């Protein structure tokens, strides 16, 4: 109870110091904290978390239909799983945000419970579920494969309601939702739309000279604003981008990312924009809307959605403008506003004329192949057996303690949030090793998955340029990995300003070639194609002879024979600057995702700077973006590491820049394979050697 009191007090301290309540534009704002339920009350409300009362579930946990106040009030009880990505921070952010907001289009938070380590949120009950449920999930009435049919005017009203909720957040509260999607738009018994799930929300800046919040990238694949991804600068226009995706979902009745259609159709946003340019949007419109949408209404709706997806935030409308446009469309659809065309055209750019001609085979193919079971099933690389773990040496905890002198602090060489790395000795002191020990919540299911995954992958790999796993220890809930010892450790320690001499260009090239050889082996040197998925500079390690070895395999994926890609919803928080932008919008993971990340590493090696520097001007925040800008200007020589000035052969630089530019292209199919990259890097080194020997 002490912890509970502390958090309730913390919540009160986070709220405005003013007491009471105020009313702004008819919207009630409560300064009072939400009701704190005991766990016993929650158990009573849900019949002790009876599975018969489950109305929703996901990675976060389960949602139950509950009854409070002696059964007089129906509520939704969201019980967060302890292993959920939604942790304590998101839990308290949601409470803080919703406790102070009351709006007809925001879901009402009634209370919470945090007793005994639980994280439970109690909301008003929304009878008609999520917008996603109604658009493309099978009918809960179980009448065959039927789907709920939302009429066009009804869809417009839902969009208007959700847009008004977001407009209120932006204009009245300076709150950025950061996770706008159809599963976070709920509908009550009167089909009133309400925005939900504020765990990732951020308070925007009120500073007139700064329009963004710098933060790590969080959100959901398919809805993420590309500019937020590239710069880590979050603005209200990031919500607008996501709402543009929602609008296309409403129009097309398909999810934002689908893995069962042709590759170019996987991302709804990209596919819809392509169809708009080709004048063929009618081919992917929900056929149940045939005859319901006025020709001009379809044209304008697509116009608004497309504008929300503008590449640059300044090119997107505000949510207030979106609301105004949708209201005019609804009036026009109902015959109440004959002059609407002129009003809309002043606000949005024109697009090719689109006239609905009926149901297209491509939409039907998606319904048949991609949505029979709701959202597409994800491929699971976990289908592989645990033979790798059986092949690997298992150390006892006593052996690990002996190797590290009982985890002596003088042998500790690295520490992160939940990891400690020690130098150790095994084989009677004849073999020096690195011992990585996970600390903190060692029993976490997610940590255990990553632990087993790294053993599984590395036990199948034996290559000069890949980190060698010697063994592991999982005794007494420990998660310890034992690797070969690499004296010079991570490349970044030698690349960025240190007390050491700057790395010569030839040495940098040799290291890049070594890392490329390791990746080449991952992609084509084993029975399975292995995608690293978390490649970054910290994953490039160096032995005493400067031989590069690729490590960091906890997120890696093994693909079966004849399978070139897999689907993953894993968003690595500290990997934003290296992440393949195509993966961002499609969640489709291929070898070319690693190629993009390797291209970023090549740029770091050349420029001697990190992939993301938040303090730089906007066009320089993202290294890839800055590099491409300088290629267009013909000024690449001005952004290379000053320590390399006049030390790179012109032809070598040309070859190196050419291969790096190919690696970081936006479209995966345009990127080279690791075989070609390795060949280009070897050519660059030969050109450098020839220049030196002249």
- Could you report the per-residue pLDDT of 70-124, keeping only the tens digit for each? 889 999 999 988 655 557 788 888 888 888 888 999 999 999 999 988 999 999 9
State how far the alpha carbon of 212 is from the alpha carbons of 277, 311, 417, 578, in Å.
31, 16, 27, 22
For 138, phi and psi rounded to 5 degrees?
-55, 145
pLDDT of residue 346: 46
State how far the alpha carbon of 107 is from the alpha carbons of 27, 59, 93, 196, in Å.
13, 21, 15, 5
pLDDT of residue 89: 80
Local structure of 339: helix, strand or coil? coil
Local structure of 545: helix, strand or coil? coil
What rounded mean pLDDT belongs to the chain?
81
Helices (H) then strands (E): counts for the chain: 23, 27
Write down the catalytic residue from 179, 225, 258, 594: 179
**For strand 480-484 and strand 431-438, is the pairing parallel, antiparallel, or unpaired?**
antiparallel
Annotated catalytic, 179? yes
Domain ranges of the chain: 34-124, 129-139+148-336, 389-484, 489-693
Kindly write down the DSSP assignment for every residue of 113-133, as one continuous string.
Answer: E-GGG--EEEEE--TT-BHHH
CB 657 within 8 A of CB 496: no
CB 458 within 8 A of CB 469: yes
Judge whether 129-139+148-336 and 489-693 match in fold.
yes
Task: Say which CATH topology domain 129-139+148-336 has.
Answer: Transferase(Phosphotransferase); domain 1 (1.10.510)
Q: Which of 338-342, 451-455, 508-512, 606-610 has the lowest mean pLDDT?
A: 338-342
**Class of domain 389-484 (CATH, top level):** alpha beta
Distance CA 338, CA 273 (A): 28
Which CATH architecture best describes the domain 489-693? Orthogonal Bundle (1.10)
CB 656 within 8 A of CB 635: no
Local structure of 438: helix, strand or coil? strand
CB 195 within 8 A of CB 185: yes
pLDDT band at 341 (very low <50, low <70, confident <90, very high): very low
User: Which of the pair, 605 or 289, is modelled with greater confidence?
Assistant: 605
Distance CA 95, CA 78 (A): 12
Distance CA 366, CA 550 (A): 39
- Per residue in 266-316, pLDDT (tens digit) is 889 989 999 999 888 888 899 888 888 888 888 899 999 999 999 889 999
> Is 78 part of any known ligand binding site?
yes
Distance CA 213, CA 228 (A): 10
Which CATH architecture best describes the domain 34-124? 2-Layer Sandwich (3.30)
Give every CB contact of residue 222 below 8 A, 6+ residues apart in sequence: 181, 245, 255, 256, 257, 267, 268, 269, 585, 586, 587
pLDDT band at 644 (very low <50, low <70, confident <90, very high): very high
- Per residue in 461-496, pLDDT (tens digit) is 889 999 999 999 988 888 999 999 999 999 999 998
CB 155 within 8 A of CB 250: yes
Distance CA 48, CA 41 (A): 9
Average pLDDT over residues 182-194: 95
């Amino acid at each position: 109870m002490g912890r509970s009191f502390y958090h309730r007090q913390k919540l009160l301290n986070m709220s405005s110091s003013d007491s009471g309540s105020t009313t702004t534009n008819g919207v009630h704002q409560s300064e009072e904290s939400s009701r704190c339920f005991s766990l016993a009350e929650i158990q009573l409300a849900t019949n002790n978390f009876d599975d018969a009362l489950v109305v929703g579930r996901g990675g976060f946990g389960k949602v139950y239909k509950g009854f409070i106040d002696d059964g007089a009030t129906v509520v939704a009880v969201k019980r967060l799983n302890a292993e959920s990505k939604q942790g304590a921070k998101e839990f308290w952010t949601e409470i803080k945000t919703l406790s102070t907001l009351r709006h007809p289009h925001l879901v009402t938070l009634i209370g919470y419970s945090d007793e005994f380590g639980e994280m439970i949120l109690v909301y008003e009950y929304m009878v008609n579920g999520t917008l996603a449920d109604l658009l493309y999930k099978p009918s809960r009435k179980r009448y065959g494969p039927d789907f709920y049919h939302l009429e066009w005017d009804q869809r417009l009203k839902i969009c208007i309601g959700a847009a008004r909720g977001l407009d209120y957040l932006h204009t009245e509260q300076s709150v950025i939702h950061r996770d706008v999607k159809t599963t976070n738009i709920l509908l009550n018994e009167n089909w009133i739309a309400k925005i939900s799930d504020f765990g990732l929300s951020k308070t925007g800046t009120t500073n007139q000279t700064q329009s963004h919040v710098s933060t790590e990238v969080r959100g959901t694949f398919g809805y993420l604003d590309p500019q937020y991804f590239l710069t880590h600068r979050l603005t209200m226009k990031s919500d607008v981008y996501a709402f543009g995706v929602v609008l296309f979902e409403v129009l097309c009745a398909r999810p934002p990312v689908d893995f069962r259609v042709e590759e170019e159709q996987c991302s709804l946003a990209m596919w819809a924009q392509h169809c708009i340019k080709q004048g063929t949007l009618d081919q992917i419109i929900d056929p149940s809307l045939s005859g319901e949408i006025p020709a001009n209404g379809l044209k304008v709706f697509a116009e608004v959605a497309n504008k929300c997806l503008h590449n640059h935030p300044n090119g997107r409308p505000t949510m207030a403008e979106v609301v105004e446009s949708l209201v005019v469309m609804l009036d026009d659809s109902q015959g109440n506003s004959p002059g609407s065309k002129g009003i809309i055209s002043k606000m949005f750019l024109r697009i090719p004329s689109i006239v609905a001609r009926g149901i297209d085979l491509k939409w039907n193919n998606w319904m048949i192949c991609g949505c029979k079971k709701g959202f597409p099933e994800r491929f699971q690389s976990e289908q592989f057996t645990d033979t790798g773990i059986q092949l690997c040496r298992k150390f006892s905890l006593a052996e690990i303690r002996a190797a590290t002198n009982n985890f002596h602090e003088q042998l500790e060489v690295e520490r992160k949030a939940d990891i400690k790395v020690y130098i150790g000795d095994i084989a009677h002191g004849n073999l020096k090793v690195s011992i990585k020990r996970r600390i903190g919540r060692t029993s976490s299911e997610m940590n255990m998955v990553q632990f087993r995954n790294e053993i599984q992958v590395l036990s199948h790999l034996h290559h000069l340029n890949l980190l060698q796993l010697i063994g592991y220890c999982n005794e007494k809930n420990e998660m310890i990995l034992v690797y070969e010892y690499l004296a010079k450790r991570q490349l970044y320690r030698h690349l960025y300003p240190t007390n050491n001499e700057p790395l010569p260009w030839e040495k940098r090239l040799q290291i890049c070639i070594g890392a490329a050889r390791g990746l080449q082996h991952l992609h084509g040197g084993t029975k399975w194609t292995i995608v690293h998925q978390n490649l970054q500079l910290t994953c490039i390690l160096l032995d005493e002879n400067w031989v590069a070895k690729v490590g960091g395999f906890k997120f890696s994926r093994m693909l079966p024979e004849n399978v070139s890609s897999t689907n993953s919803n894993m968003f690595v928080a500290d990997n934003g600057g290296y992440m393949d932008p195509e993966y961002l919008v499609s969640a489709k993971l291929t070898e070319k995702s690693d190629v993009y990340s390797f291209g970023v590493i090549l740029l770091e090696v050349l420029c001697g700077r990190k992939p993301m520097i938040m303090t730089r001007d906007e066009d320089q925040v993202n290294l890839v973006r800055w590099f491409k800008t300088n290629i267009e200007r013909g000024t690449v020589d001005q952004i290379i590491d000053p320590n390399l000035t006049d030390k790179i052969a012109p032809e070598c630089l040309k070859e190196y820049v050419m291969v790096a530019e190919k690696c970081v292209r936006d479209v995966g199919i345009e990127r080279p394979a690791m075989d070609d990259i390795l060949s280009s890097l070897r050519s660059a080194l030969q050109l450098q050697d020839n220049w030196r020997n002249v």
